[in-house]
Amino acid sequence: MNKIRIDEFLNLAQQHPVIDVRSPGEFAHAHIPGAFSLPLFSDEERKVVGTAYKQQGRALAIKIGLDFFGPKMRPMVEEVEQIINNQCQLPTANCQLPKTVLLHCWRGGMRSGAVAWLLDLYGYKVYTLAGGYKAFRNWVLQQFEKPYSFKVIGGYTGSGKTIVLHELGERRHTIIDLEKLAHHKGSAFGDLGETKSPSAEMFENELALSLYEVKDSPAIWIEDESRRIGNINLPNTLWETMRRSPVFFLDIPFEERLKYIAEEYGKFKKEDLASATLRIQKRLGGQDTSTAVSHFNENNFIGAFRILLTYYDKYYKKGLHDRVNLDELLTIVPCSRVVAGENAGALLSVFQSHIPGAVQEQTN
């Protein structure tokens, strides 16, 4: 059994399974992405052991823990066997490597130590994370403090920023899709068609690993986002880095954006669209809200989104101009319509020439 630091742990995690022995509740809240849950104690058992430790001392807590642990030993070994066997069936697996597992609990203490002892006894090579999940969380927060070479894809609502971002990814450019990590598209309508958003902590874990994988890239493409995506706040330091990064603004005519957004969101139930509109009633205004909802009820998506797009344009324009040194950061990318391939090509062409501040008056 070997205790290793976080950088070595994450490096080994690219080849070997990570086993999280914390309770199911702890794992469900947030965990190291890709880890397998193999709880030493259930949530209730963890509570019993913790209470005994505080009220009656370490020795009794250990004895109670052993009572819980004993019947689970064989099932835990067999579950780890299954995890490794399943991984060996993956196309990229190298099953000639020694049977190695990486373990962690909350602080790298007794829970990971007990399971590490069991798996070592069975014959596995076992590494435990020094400091446990808490050390990983400290590492996560450190990632947001680092400088990154972000290139921000800007544009009013309906500009197809996301499809351009994905097109860049298809062309092997480095991207980070913040909305995909958040399971939210960033507006009052952003949760439509999405699965449940992760906890803020889990979002940070996923984001930190994404940044770690591309940290040395000379250009990391991301979408222009507000500080908040759905229920998730972007880490402050990282968001400030984004706000200081070059912005490539997809300049697309209003009517083209309106047509695109109506097609994209017209597939959702009109009741859901109306409900999303009501969530921004205070900012949109009573009359515009009532009119937009009426348009949705009448299946007039163009009419409804004309009102909403006008509102979001004002909102985005304020955020765009609320930057220090915008004149130095902003580059316009003229586009005639919302087409991923065309606009990605135009973006890359402008990026390669990269004349900051070109034709800025078009966004005024």
Domain segments of the chain: what residues?
Answer: 2-140, 147-363
Which one of 3.30.2030, 3.40.50, 1.10.3470, 2.60.120 gives the CATH number of domain 147-363?
Answer: 3.40.50
> For 2-140, CATH number?
3.40.250.10
177 with 168: CB under 8 angstroms?
A: no
State the average pLDDT over residues 221-241.
Answer: 94
Enzyme catalytic residues: 105
Give residue-wise pLDDT tens across range 269-317.
999 999 999 999 999 999 999 999 999 999 999 999 999 999 999 999 9
pLDDT tens digits, 179-189: 999 999 988 88
Kindly report the backbone phi and psi dihedral angles of residue 228, in degrees, each rounded to the nearest multiple of 5, phi listed first: -120, 130
Can you tell me the distance from the alpha carbon of 354 to that of 352, in angstroms, rounded to the nearest whole number? 5
pLDDT in tens, 81-108: 999 988 877 666 666 667 899 999 999 8
CA-to-CA distance for 271 and 130, rounded, in angstroms? 51
Task: Give the pLDDT score at 353.
Answer: 85
Closest CA to 40 of 64, 76, 9, 13: 76
- Identify which of 225, 231, 241, 176 has the alpha carbon closest to the alpha carbon of residue 202: 231
Supply the DSSP symbol for 235. P
Task: Please report the pLDDT score of residue 108 as a whole number.
Answer: 86
Residue 276 CB partners (closer than 8 Å, separation 6+): 188, 189, 192
Residue 359 pLDDT: 41
| Spatial separation of the C-alpha atoms in residues 220 and 225, rounded to whole Å | 15
Distances (CA, A) of 109 to 12, 29, 104, 335: 20, 20, 9, 57
What is the average pLDDT value for the chain, to the nearest integer?
A: 92
Q: Is the pLDDT of residue 360 over 70?
A: no
CA distance 40 to 278: 46
Query: Which helix H or strand E contains 349, and what residues bound it?
Result: helix 340-353
Cα 274 to Cα 23: distance, rounded to the nearest angstrom: 41
Using CA atoms, how far apart are residues 342 and 347, in angstroms rounded to an integer? 9
